A and B are shown apart, each in its own frame.
Chain A
Amino acid sequence: KAGVTQTPRYLIKTRGQQVTLSCSPISGHRSVSWYQQTPGQGLQFLFEYFSETQRNKGNFPGRFSGRQFSNSRSEMNVSTLELGDSALYLCASSAGQGTGGANVLTFGAGSRLTVL
């Protein structure tokens, strides 16, 4: 069974540009969550999508957005990049059927974004 796939693995952008990251969940998983990991702030929740709807959102500015497609693949977009957006962006998928602990989140390897 294939795991969670994130692309690209590494990317370099300059301030003011925008970036789109992609996440393909485990087959059959309908929930996709995104996290930002930085040395200073640690792991912070960005948002969660389930069946193409955003169910939950973290405390990030509107420059951070996402979407989910009918095949459960998800993308996140960051517009007008700032230096502080440099981070590892992790995607996680789960069955997301609202049965709590039974839905273990499986993470991808992450996308490392560097903003110059």
Chain B
Amino acid sequence: AQTVTQSQPEMSVQEAETVTLSCTYDTSESDYYLFWYKQPPSRQMILVIRQEAYKQQNATENRFSVNFQKAAKSFSLKISDSQLGDAAMYFCAYRSGFGNEKLTFGTGTRLTIIP
């Protein structure tokens, strides 16, 4: 079974600074996808970024980028120029590449933005 571990329950960053959230995972599969979701106080889960395991290039979406280390099974999220609206719970998630819609989530990291 796949597992996802987020070892940082809470993180804080000054507004406009950069922060990195950590995620490691365990799987024996070769084809899979990794995601970062954001859950603000409104509770709606919002996709931040995704990474296909077969792609070596790290995904980037505006101020959000990942550092995907496949051999180390590490998938960290970097948020640049942090904004107050980035304050939320961030969840790392894994999905098998074999037509399975099931997401396995980590326990989440609560990110606080300090004005």
**Chain A interfacial positions (CB closer than 8 Å to B):** 31, 33, 35, 42-43, 45, 48, 50, 55-56, 58, 88, 90, 92, 94, 96, 98-101, 103-110, 112
Contacts and interface: CB of A to CB of B under 8 A. Distances in A.
Interface centre among B50, B105, B107 (most CB of A within 10 A): B105
Sorted nearest first, the 4 A-B pairs with minimum C-beta distance are A98-B99, A107-B45, A101-B33, A43-B105
Contacts of B37: 107
A58 B102 CA distance: 9
Given A100-B33, A100-B95, A101-B33, A45 B43 contact: no
A108 B46 CA distance: 9
Contacts of B35: 104
The main secondary structure of chain A at its interface with chain B is: strand
B102 A56 contact: yes
Contact of B50 (A94, A104, A106): A104
B4 to A, nearest CB: 10
